Chain A
């Protein structure tokens, strides 16, 4: 399938962002579905992998994906295993270890397919914990970006669900806790304790082991994440690599409904992902998709997702293109 929209933007050049649906196989032989977006004709741009927030799908990353790809990056997004979206598994079986398995499969695929030895990885919200642990284990992840990164999983889940799910005794656990319309279930609990995901200490241990640069974008009044904890961790001398904490003066954990906040985030994430040197103030111009471009792209990706879901049985390769003002 090919979708293409052309639009003149005051005579300036337009960029064609092409998105292709791909699949890879995880180490437990399950299918992870990815979208690869790119506007570079020669395929020479840096590769960026984005992990979506909990209970969000890769289509919800359209603004970041477009901003990055319009500026030359090759962007991979994926739906984690046992999560909402197109990859294998049911959401009630979701675990952070399963998300780590999904990310590892995507990183392997992207490095092999794009013939790269390193790439940038972006983790949104809860999945920032996953990208951090992945980076501690895999030096191919040369730079990390956290967006509204979660530090204390137990506290964030308690705030978001009004239920201290991870603070309960195992035998007292409810069948599920509700987050928006989705559930957090016992497999998540068991994995969080068995694999050491819960607790600030475990977040600190993972972060401190990462010698690669980590750039965190954190809303200053995030209702689900304690900013002072993020500052504390990022300021710690136990860190083994450079840390950059960029505070966004917007109140919400999720910036997807705040187009002005999102625009600031797109600009700075793109810069953080593509700048040669994070310490230099090289102010290269970041081209951003406009509001209308993002609206149009979001609607196209929603349809792309729906069509994909219907046609998953055929496992057909799917592509669409859209043109956005540059």
Chain B
């Protein structure tokens, strides 16, 4: 059961990594720097990833317990709720008829709408995994994927940090509708 739980938690982190990487892909390939609300949503995605990472890292360094799982899933639910609020805020900004929305749509939906779907799925997944934690027996497990998962997640956090610094540059304000990287202007 512990191995299965850690597999689910690891997949959770990699799905969040994939969502963040996809957002980065849109930013770089379509040349669309994220707006401030988009950055908030990315921050919430990263915070949501810290929940399952909490479980992986605690299990890697000690015991996998129901308490550790509950704390990690709680972190993910809180962060995903925060992200859902930000995504809803941006959806509502562009909900009126005639508004083309912000940025280019991907598969028919704007990134903030995809973000809302991702946050809703994260809340549901964390809820299910929190329930499943009730069947966890305290156990010391070996899970080799923890290190590479944590390193990959740290890399995407650092990449986003550098991206925001490049976007805001040495200017105090980040434009609401950014079109470039102020650091290089």
Chain A bound to chain B: no
